[in-house]
């Protein structure tokens, strides 16, 4: 079945530093990938839609200069949290849908803790 | 894209009992998907039911879909402690858009 690999699983960083999270589709091509954020005891919130070869589409309230998205190939999208602050601590999840499947495959998520 | 609303918000049962969760949505769909999320982990795709299907089974899972009522239900039979998780429904309109998730149903299965 379709697999999405997300890396790293967890990361702890200092305030002011940047963190990159990778999302890879292992056995299918994904022209579109989605990035979600989930705060404790809350539901997933869509942050942005990553489009291969073009700019990402950000949801309202998500700072595009802070959350940099790069979808450089059909199997890789990256989310970089720049100048991280403690309030950026959250669970970040990516997903992609193999063409024609009608379903979505999610990565295992990245737990970001900013200290 | 549209959001599904799960009900109840929380459910606590004993091991061996059945758990039923409901989902309502507002507009027409191509399919509806159910996901599970264990605490602090990613989502797991459980089952997809298409708009022309009324019921679908997968192991101990049974999903129903009533497009006239715009509702779906997920039944977990003979529940186990390992079923403890949050369950989300995601109605899908058919375009290659994103899924929007509601607050989910938090299921707790006590041994």
Among A51, A104, A107, A113, the strongest candidate for a mutation testing the B interface, having the largest count of B CBs within 10 A, is: A104
Backbone angles phi, psi at A21, to 5 degrees: -115, 130
**Count of residues making up chain B:** 111
pLDDT at residue B41 is higher than 60? yes
Q: What share of chain A is helix, strand, coil (3-state, %, to 5)?
A: 5, 50, 45
pLDDT of residue A97: 80
pLDDT of residue A79: 97
Residue B99: list chain A partners with CB under 8 A.
34, 95, 104
Question: Are the C-beta atoms of A16 and A67 separated by less than 8 Å?
Answer: no
Q: What angle do CA A49, B50, B100 make, to 5 degrees?
A: 30
State the distance between the two ends of chain A, measured CA to CA, in whole angstroms: 37
DSSP, collapsed to helix, strand or coil, labels residue B111 as coil
> Using beta carbons and an 8 Å cutoff, which residues of B are at the interface with A?
30-31, 33, 35, 40-45, 48, 50, 88, 90, 92, 96, 98-104
For chain A, how big is the Rg over CA atoms in Å?
13
Among B48, B100, B101, the residue with its CB nearest the CB of A103 is: B48
Among B45, B98, B100, the residue with its CB nearest the CB of A105 is: B45
Q: How far is CA A87 from CA A17, A18, A68, in A?
A: 13, 14, 17
Q: What is the mean pLDDT of chain B?
A: 90
CA B90 – CA A26 distance, rounded (Å): 23
β-pair type (B85-92, B31-37): antiparallel
Range scoring the smallest mean pLDDT among A52-61, A96-105, B15-24, B78-87: A96-105
Backbone angles phi, psi at B82, to 5 degrees: -70, -10
pLDDT of residue A102: 64
pLDDT digits (tens, 9 = 90+) for B60-75: 999 999 999 999 999 9
The residue of chain B with its CA nearest to that of A109 is B42
pLDDT of residue B1: 60
For residues B28-56, give the mean pLDDT: 88
Q: Predicted confidence band at B103 (pLDDT cuts at 50, 70, 90)?
A: confident
CA A68 – CA A48 distance, rounded (Å): 10
Strand stretches in B8-104, DSSP E: 10-14, 19-24, 31-37, 43-50, 55-58, 61-66, 71-76, 85-92
pLDDT of residue B13: 95
Residue B108: list chain A partners with CB under 8 A.
none
pLDDT of residue B42: 79
Residues of chain A where predicted confidence (pLDDT) is lower than 50: none
Residue A42: list chain B partners with CB under 8 A.
103
β-pair type (A10-13, A110-114): parallel
For residues B5-14, give the mean pLDDT: 93
Q: Predicted confidence band at B4 (pLDDT cuts at 50, 70, 90)?
A: confident
Among A91, A104, A109, the residue with its CB nearest the CB of B99 is: A104
């Amino acid at each position: 079945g379709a697999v999405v690999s997300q890396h790293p699983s967890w990361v702890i960083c200092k305030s002011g530093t940047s963190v990159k999270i990778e999302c890879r589709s292992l056995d299918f091509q994904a022209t579109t990938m989605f990035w979600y954020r989930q705060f404790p005891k809350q539901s997933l919130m869509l942050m942005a839609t990553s489009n291969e070869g073009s700019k990402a589409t950000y949801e309202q309230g998500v700072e595009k200069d802070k959350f940099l998205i790069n979808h450089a190939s059909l199997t890789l999208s990256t989310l970089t949290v720049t100048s991280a602050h403690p309030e950026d601590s959250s669970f970040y999840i990516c997903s992609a849908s193999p063409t024609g499947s009608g379903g979505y495959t999610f990565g295992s998520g990245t737990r970001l803790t900013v200290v | 894209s549209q959001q599904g609303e799960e009900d109840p918000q929380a459910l606590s049962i004993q091991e061996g009992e059945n758990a039923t969760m409901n989902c309502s949505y507002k507009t027409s769909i191509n399919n509806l998907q159910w996901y599970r999320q264990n605490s602090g982990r990613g989502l797991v795709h459980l089952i997809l039911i298409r708009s022309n299907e009324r019921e679908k089974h997968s192991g101990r899972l049974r999903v129903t879909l009533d497009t006239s009522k715009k509702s779906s239900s997920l039944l977990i039979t003979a529940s186990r402690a390992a079923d403890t998780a949050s369950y989300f429904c995601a109605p899908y309109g058919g375009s290659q858009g994103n899924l929007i998730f509601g607050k989910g149903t938090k299921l707790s299965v006590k041994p």
